[in-house]
Amino acid sequence: MNSRKTTIGVLSALSLSALMLTACSSGGSAAPADGGAPTGTLNFYTDKAAWEPDFKALNASSEPGVNITLNTTGYSDANQYDAFVKQSFRTSKSPGLFSWHTGDSLKKLVDENLVAETSDIWKKAIDEGWVSKDLERYYTFDGKQYCVPMNIAYWVMYYNKPIFEKNGIEVPTTWSELDAAATKLKAAGTTPYYQTSTLFTFQWFQQLVAGTDPALYKGLSTGDVKYTDPKIVAIMNEWLDEQKKGWFSDAGSTTDPAVGLKQGDFAMINFGSFFGGSLDAAGMKSGTDYGFFVIPAKNESLTQTPVAVETGPLCIAENSKQKDLGLAYAEWWMSPEAQTAWGDARGDVPFNPKAKVKDQALAELGQNVASSDYQLVERYFEATPTPILTVALEQFGAFNANPGDPMPFLQKIQDEADKYWAAQG
């Protein structure tokens, strides 16, 4: 999961020195005498500490495949991770491979010439049918590509199957049916939806706006639509009405959301398609204890159902001593072999359509959203410029914790948006 914090922390000089020593102390690369692709140990840094075993599991495929071994260092504190990566660019110890974020965060690195271009890798992958050209736009700046997709996740609705069955609820196929399910669950004493007041506070706003009007949703990310636009205010008031009905869980709960769904604290949770791994770890079984469905469009007249898509990049530092090794690994990473191994390790939808997927439900999800019945929209977290996002996450969290007149919350976001877009000229 893409879980960066909303502020950037600063490491002490001592901590940074220790991290720099760690960055260069292990592994190395060697270019074969015949001038072929480099091989060796590639230092990889990621803010996905929980995924570290999954990355290490890939060595069983990458070592015989391209003779490259990942030496993975995972960070659980996103502030420290962001600070480490940014500091490393000022030294000769910049990482050969690191995870990052798309959108405004990646653009800043590209503008400063800090990440390596990957246009040739993308061209080969698209020509081979390894990746959809639609995904390319998230990695394209001034006509060139940078980084490669670490993952792709579709934001869907997970649900507790026994709770649905107990209440005679079928998987909703329209927004009206979803509202009816929420009403029935609340009447039976079960909270319909999960919410939080920290970090992942944007999901329902994303769903309501994109599901009402995808163009309106996109306009927020470009500054063409204001957060105080009457249409946005009306949508927020609908969200407020749902809050007043008691459709959302305690925003301040510290219970792990996977555990919360398992024990019935709520019946549904809007999350990325990687969430199945957390549910499996919590002791729930796919197809028996939980399932998921694409959330219907709120505006039932839309011809395509909007689906929020999240993609996080694997990047290679332009000035890294391991640049060539990182690029070689990135090219392998796009292959069906690599994505099959990654799908097995993560239990998520691989972005390569030629990869094999064990979970049939995930395989069907990938096939379905690729059809003309669905419209992919960029996840709010990546679509929104960082300064605006920081304020928006705080304000949506405050709204979840203490629902009320949406205008004060929206005005604070718009004030930050006005400052940001004015600075862009």
> pLDDT at position 21, please?
34
Is 4's pLDDT higher than 60? no
Is 14's pLDDT higher than 70? no
Tell me the pairing of strands 290-293 and 144-145.
unpaired
pLDDT digits (tens, 9 = 90+) for 336-387: 999 999 988 887 888 898 998 888 888 889 888 878 899 999 999 999 998 9
Ramachandran class of 11: left when φ > 0, alpha when ψ lies in -120 to 50, beta otherwise: beta
Q: How far is CA 401 from CA 32, 119, 196, 395, in A?
A: 58, 44, 8, 10
Biggest CA-to-CA distance, the chain: 72
Does the predicted TM-score (pTM) go above 0.85? no
* Partners of residue 375 on adjacent β-strands: 306
Per CATH, the homologous superfamily of domain 13-151+309-370 is: Periplasmic binding protein-like II (3.40.190.10)
> pLDDT at position 219, please?
98
> pLDDT at position 258, please?
96
Beta strands in 133-173 (DSSP E): 140-141, 144-145, 148-160
> pLDDT at position 8, please?
34
Is 13's pLDDT higher than 80? no
Sign of torsion over alpha carbons 168, 172, 174, 177:
positive
- Site of tokens 């249409």: 231
Tell me the pairing of strands 140-141 and 144-145.
antiparallel
Domains of the chain, by residue range, sit at: 13-151+309-370, 154-308+380-423
Contact in structure between 156 and 295 (CB atoms under 8 Å): yes
Is 129's pLDDT higher than 50? yes
Is 91's pLDDT higher than 90? no
Phi (first) and psi of residue 38, to 5 degrees:
-70, 155
> pLDDT at position 37, please?
67
How far apart are the C-alpha atoms of 406 and 236, rounded to whole Å?
A: 6
How far apart are the C-alpha atoms of 412 and 270, rounded to whole Å?
A: 25
Span 40-66, average pLDDT = 93
> pLDDT at position 366, please?
84
Nearest to 292 by CA among 308, 274, 306, 309: 274
Q: Do domains 13-151+309-370 and 154-308+380-423 have the same CATH topology?
A: yes
pLDDT digits (tens, 9 = 90+) for 211-223: 999 999 999 999 9
pLDDT digits (tens, 9 = 90+) for 19-36: 333 333 334 444 443 445
Confidence category of residue 77, pLDDT binned at 50, 70, 90: confident
The residue that leads in pLDDT, 5 or 359, is: 359
Nearest to 296 by CA among 178, 406, 203: 178
> pLDDT at position 372, please?
87
Contact in structure between 349 and 366 (CB atoms under 8 Å): yes
Q: Which of 47-56, 128-137, 234-243 has the highest mean pLDDT?
A: 234-243
DSSP collapsed to 3 states, 360-374: HHHHHHHHHHCCCCE
How many helices and strands in the chain, by DSSP H and E? Answer: 20, 11
> pLDDT at position 18, please?
37
Is 47's pLDDT higher than 60? yes
Element (H, E) at 307: strand 305-315
Is 286's pLDDT higher than 50? yes
> pLDDT at position 36, please?
57
Contact in structure between 147 and 343 (CB atoms under 8 Å): no
pLDDT digits (tens, 9 = 90+) for 319-332: 999 999 999 999 99
Is 234's pLDDT higher than 60? yes
CATH of 154-308+380-423 given 1.10.10.10, 3.40.190.10, 1.20.58.220, 3.40.50.12780: 3.40.190.10
Mean pLDDT of the chain: 90
- Residue 131 in tokens: 């990746």
How far apart are the C-alpha atoms of 309 and 311, rounded to whole Å?
A: 7
pLDDT > 70: what percent of the chain? Answer: 91
How far apart are the C-alpha atoms of 18 and 182, rounded to whole Å?
A: 51
Is 98's pLDDT higher than 90? yes
- Residue 193 in tokens: 């939806």
Q: Which of 93-107, 200-214, 252-266 has the lowest mean pLDDT?
A: 93-107
Is 162's pLDDT higher than 90? yes
Contact in structure between 368 and 357 (CB atoms under 8 Å): no
Q: How far is CA 5 from CA 80, 356, 391, in A?
A: 10, 33, 12
